[in-house]
Amino acid sequence: MIDSPCNDICTIDSESGLCVGCGRTPNEITNWIHYSNNQKKIILNALKKRRNNINNMLDNRTMNNLFNVAKTQIFPIGLILILALARLIPHPPNFTPIIAVAIMSGYFFKNINLSFIILLISMLIADTFIGFYENIIFVYASLLLITYIFHKFSSKINFKNLFISGFAGSLLFFIVSNFGVWLLGSPGVNDIAYEKSFSGLIQCYVLAIPFFGNTFLSTLVFAYPALYIYKALPAQFSSR
């Protein structure tokens, strides 16, 4: 009696030498068993290979997801916070990274609400140390507007047109923030109070022109490295 292709075991007839159940000779039964075992091994190996492929695919997806989260969320947030905190370093008048922060906030994140939140948090953290001022609402409003605009046109931002983007952002900031200075004054900054008239508004803008150069230059100084660092990460993990 030996293991066989029969339902249970083969019983060899002593006279005929054949299995009573399947009618095979012992050699045929042995060959069948070897063939069956080989087939089982092939199937098991195929299943193991498929399982390993699935595990590798899941591992790759997990790693890709981790890199994507790092690229699209963690790294940009950290970079923007670093830019914002650079305001705490002593600097010439208007030579700050705030417009670069606004532009990059709009560029880095696909979700506009996240762009706004990161911008506001980074600004508030720095202003907590620097101090708040009366016309801060206009500064924040101009930065939110810059973030919104550059979020809408984020696909067009690159190294070639960042110069124009920086100029446009600086000009928008100049117009909105100095309107706030004209409307509310600028306590602590030469204590200038402008006439609430068109001529007073023009005077405010004219006196602010010398500071525009630093605003624009600082935007480029901070925006270009930020964009370069972001672009330098592996392309397969890029959200843009």
pLDDT value of residue 83? 80
Report d(CA 190, CA 149) in Å as an integer. Answer: 32
Report d(CA 39, CA 26) in Å as an integer. Answer: 20
Mean pLDDT (the chain) is 78
pLDDT value of residue 58? 54
pLDDT value of residue 237? 46
Report d(CA 61, CA 76) in Å as an integer. Answer: 21
Please say whether the beta carbons of 157 and 100 come within 8 A: no
Q: Residue 94: which region, alpha, beta or left (left: phi > 0; alpha: psi -120 to 50)?
A: left
pLDDT value of residue 57? 63
Which element (helix H / strand E) includes 2? strand 2-3
Report d(CA 203, CA 54) in Å as an integer. Answer: 69
pLDDT value of residue 230? 81
Residue with tokens 């110069």: 163
Q: Which residues of the chain have pLDDT under 70?
A: 1-24, 26-40, 52-73, 156, 186-192, 233-240
Helices (H), 109-135: 112-130
